[in-house]
C-alpha cells in the first residue's frame, strides 16, 4: 500500500517526530502549570525542607529572614510572595499568565525545557507553512492561500516571542539572577545593601551547572 511504501522510504518519520514534539510540549505545559513552583512551607515544615534549595553564596551578614506580611511565613532569601497564587515562592522568577502559575525554584528548569521544545515546534511548523506558499500577485491566489498565510504570520509572531523569552531567561540564568531580581534590583534589600552588584553570581559555567544539574 501507499502507507507501507512511505514508511519504507522514511517519509513517515518526520511527521511522527513532529507529533511527538507537540505531545512533549503539551505535557511540559501541563507539568509546569500544575506543579508546585517552590511554595514556602509554614515554619513547622521548614526543618524537613532545609538543605533542599540551591546553595546561596555570599549573603550579606547583617541580613535577616523577614516574615511575609501576607501569609506570615519566614521568607528564605530570594523568595517573594505572589498575590495571584497566595503563596511565597522560593527563588521567585515571575508569575506567568500563560501558565496561570508562578515560575520558581522547582519548575524553572522545566519552564526552560518547555520554551525550548515549543521553539523547535514553532520553527518546524513555520518551515512547513513557508514551504507551502507559492506567491502570485492575484486575488484568486490570496483566496486559496489566506489560511496558510495567516498561519505563517501567527507562527512567526509566536516564534519571535518564545525566542526572546528563551534567550532572556538563559541570559539571566547564566548570571544567576531572576526576572524579579533583574527588574526590581533597587527595591530588594539583600541586593540593595550588598557590596556586590550580584552576590549570587559564581561564573557562567557554575551558574548553568547549578541551575540545570
Residue 48 to residue 101: CA distance in whole angstroms: 24
Q: Is-catalytic flag, 71? A: no
Beta bridge mates, 103: 94
Q: Is residue 87 part of a domain?
A: no
Q: Per residue of the chain (213 residues), what is the pLDDT tens digit? A: 555 555 555 567 888 899 999 999 999 999 999 999 999 987 644 454 444 444 444 454 455 667 888 888 888 889 999 999 999 999 999 999 999 999 999 999 999 999 999 999 999 988 887 776 666 666 676 677 778 788 888 999 999 999 999 999 999 999 999 999 999 988 888 888 777 888 999 999 999 999 998
pLDDT of residue 213: 86
The DSSP secondary-structure symbol of 60 reads -
Q: Is residue 56 part of a domain?
A: no
pLDDT of residue 63: 54
Q: Is residue 57 part of a domain?
A: no
State CA 71 to chain mean position distance: 26
pLDDT of residue 196: 82
Residue 139 to residue 106: CA distance in whole angstroms: 52
pLDDT of residue 90: 94
The SS3 of residue 134 is coil
Phi, psi of 98 (to 5 degrees): -70, -35
Q: Is residue 126 part of a domain?
A: yes
Straight-line distance from the first to the last Cα atom of the chain, in angstroms, rounded to the nearest whole number? 48
Q: Is residue 84 part of a domain?
A: no
Q: Is residue 150 part of a domain?
A: yes
List C-alpha distances in Å: 77 to 66, 104, 133, 151: 9, 13, 53, 45
State CA 116 to chain mean position distance: 9
Question: Is 122 within 8 Å of 159 (Cβ atoms)?
Answer: yes
pLDDT of residue 53: 43
pLDDT of residue 151: 84
Which of 82, 96, 175, 213 is labelled catalytic?
A: 96
List C-alpha distances in Å: 115 to 35, 149, 179: 16, 24, 16
Q: Is residue 178 part of a domain?
A: yes
Specify the number of domains making up the chain: 1
pTM: 0.82
Q: Is residue 47 part of a domain?
A: no
Residue 29 is part of which domain span?
2-39+103-212
Amino acid at each position: 500500500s501507499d502507507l507501507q511504501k512511505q514508511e519504507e522510504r522514511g517519509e513517515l518519520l518526520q511527521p511522527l517526530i513532529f507529533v511527538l514534539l507537540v505531545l512533549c510540549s503539551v505535557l511540559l505545559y501541563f507539568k509546569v502549570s500544575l506543579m508546585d513552583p517552590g511554595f514556602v512551607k509554614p515554619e513547622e515544615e521548614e526543618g524537613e525542607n532545609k538543605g533542599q534549595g540551591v546553595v546561596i553564596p555570599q549573603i550579606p551578614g547583617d541580613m535577616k529572614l523577614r516574615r511575609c506580611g501576607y501569609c506570615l511565613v519566614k521568607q528564605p532569601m530570594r523568595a517573594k510572595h505572589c498575590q495571584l497564587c497566595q503563596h511565597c515562592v522560593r527563588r521567585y522568577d515571575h508569575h506567568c499568565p500563560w501558565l496561570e502559575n508562578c515560575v520558581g525554584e522547582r519548575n524553572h528548569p522545566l519552564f526552560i525545557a518547555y520554551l525550548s521544545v515549543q521553539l523547535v515546534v514553532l520553527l518546524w511548523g513555520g518551515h512547513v507553512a513557508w514551504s507551502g506558499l507559492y506567491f502570485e500577485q492575484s486575488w484568486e491566489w490570496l483566496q486559496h492561500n489566506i489560511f496558510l498565510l495567516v498561519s505563517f504570520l501567527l507562527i512567526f509572531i509566536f516564534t519571535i516571542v518564545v525566542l526572546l523569552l528563551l534567550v532572556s531567561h538563559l541570559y539571566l540564568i547564566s548570571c544567576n539572577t531572576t526576572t524579579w531580581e533583574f527588574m526590581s534590583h533597587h527595591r530588594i534589600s539583600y541586593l540593595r545593601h550588598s557590596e556586590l552588584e550580584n552576590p549570587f553570581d559564581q561564573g557562567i559555567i557554575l551558574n548553568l551547572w547549578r541551575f540545570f544539574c
